[in-house]
Structure 1
């Protein structure tokens, strides 16, 4: 089993630097995929209300943790607020996630998106409602329902706005799209300054997108080091102290994506840092 790396959060808790993403992991595939992930060594599992798989994951953990000689406290479960549930509904949404996951607490609860579905992207109502969401999340921490709170898809402006009015609890994580085609230098610098864990989703470029995995420069580095392109891309983030949450349904890829105990030489990091920039997913710059 590969060595597990951790990031110490502002709360004092530690979060694994390599987690397992569960977007599109649904139905009868959930239990065997989570079984492989636990066997490979993953202990952080990332889901969201939007993914529609919280109940299936809850059932899988109940079945599989004893098989792997683990208890609930040995894994770190992260889930997220649906953009429909901003504002007063956030408290109810947290309770619903707890019920579906069938556990007493959530390790990390994130605002999934700074915007509110049904509200114009440029409306100040977005900022007002996400502020209420954050208040409800801080209350959930005080009640012991959630251990840590953070955000996802926040840009520099939105994160600074939250830090100026955090209702007593700073965000411990900001989960954003990040890979060599989307380096997000400014948000990385801000998170480093504020001791917030920057966590990369789509670290391989996203489902079905082979732009990075089949990139000639990535493949050349991988061949030189005797690694897979995916391992090179994940290691690129880790060497910048950025956590990663790759996802896969293939047992071989699940194990390979966790086996990251090697170093990318400086010259290879520099090559990856010169890639042209493009965003494949949500762009929070559209939200006021």
Structure 2
């Protein structure tokens, strides 16, 4: 029996984004193809990839085969890709989008993101405007950014006059990005969490384990449930069928307000914080 399909959140442009998706970073070749096929069969409808991941061909082939087999229709899927740093700029971004679309073998994307702000390049506004023009042509439904911190996000909105539908950022227990989420709420931007399980690093934390024991669920389910209740989209990555299934099936229990607050308060604990690149500094 398949888990309950993921609930959706409404984006500012009226589109719906499934709140639990599949991240595909570091998935390559047949592993990427097999995982996406299995995930769709389990009920995943949100698949996240990027040019950088070097797996758009395999992701697209899995999507195409799932549609051809009758498991799902294209309209039921939400496919995201991203423009990489080397392709920032008006003309480069337009070419990069068409190249991603061709590798995926799709007629359109549901969401296309500027992958990093790269503030030293000073091209994020121009790049986002190029992506907005693609949206105007009807080849992408929704547009957004990833790894944008408050300063560049606010500059983007003021300069372009366009509010991104999504900002995809590192977010997990111990790094809940509360100030950035508050800014998103004010602007009408949906927050998506990459590395929502901190690459597994938070699953042994006593607070998470204690709550998981109380509900009789995996620690990962507690973390993903926390994100769902915060109103965040999460894209955990796994190629293990059991973990794929448990990551999607997080809707059979409800955390209390106190439990949500206890997990959020892990930000203040020792050894917590950002695990990966700081977008104010990356790339150097």
TM-score range, shorter chain: over 0.9
Q: Pick from 56, 67, 70 the counterpart of residue 54 of structure 1.
A: 56
- Paired residue for 2:281? 286
Q: Pick from 201, 208, 211 the counterpart of residue 211 of structure 1.
A: 201
Deviations 1:90-109 (A, max 9, x none): 01000100110111111100
Superposition RMSD on alpha carbons, in Å?
A: 1.5
- Paired residue for 1:118? none
- Paired residue for 2:265? 274
Matched, 1:263 2:254: yes
Matched, 1:114 2:117: yes
CA distance 1:73–1:3, change in 2 (3 Å): closer
Question: C-alpha distance in 1, partners of 2:247/2:42?
Answer: 9
- Paired residue for 2:242? 252
Q: Pick from 95, 98, 122 the counterpart of residue 98 of structure 2.
A: 95
After the TM superposition, which residues 149-160 of structure 1 pair with which residues of structure 2 at under 5 Å, given as runs? 149-160=143-154
- Paired residue for 1:175? 168
After the TM superposition, which residues 7-22 of structure 1 pair with which residues of structure 2 at under 5 Å, given as runs? 7-22=9-24
Question: C-alpha distance in 1, partners of 2:135/2:168?
Answer: 19
Matched, 1:134 2:137: no
- Paired residue for 1:63? 65
Contact 1:38 1:68 in 2 (8 A): no
Question: C-alpha distance in 2, partners of 1:8/1:111?
Answer: 20
- Paired residue for 2:177? 184
- Paired residue for 2:7? 5
Deviations 1:14-48 (A, max 9, x none): 11111110111111112321122112211010000
Question: C-alpha distance in 2, partners of 1:23/1:107?
Answer: 18
Question: C-alpha distance in 2, partners of 1:101/1:251?
Answer: 23
Q: How many residue pairs end up in the alignment?
A: 275
TM-superposed CA distance for 1:75, in Å, is 0.5
**SS in structure 1 at match of 2:173:** coil
Question: C-alpha distance in 2, partners of 1:172/1:98?
Answer: 20
Deviations 1:156-186 (A, max 9, x none): 111111111225x420000001111111111
After the TM superposition, which residues 37-48 of structure 1 pair with which residues of structure 2 at under 5 Å, given as runs? 37-48=39-50
TM-superposed CA distance for 1:63, in Å, is 1.2
- Please, what TM-score do these two structures have when normalized by structure 1? 0.91
Deviations 1:62-110 (A, max 9, x none): 1122335312121011000111110131010001001101111111000
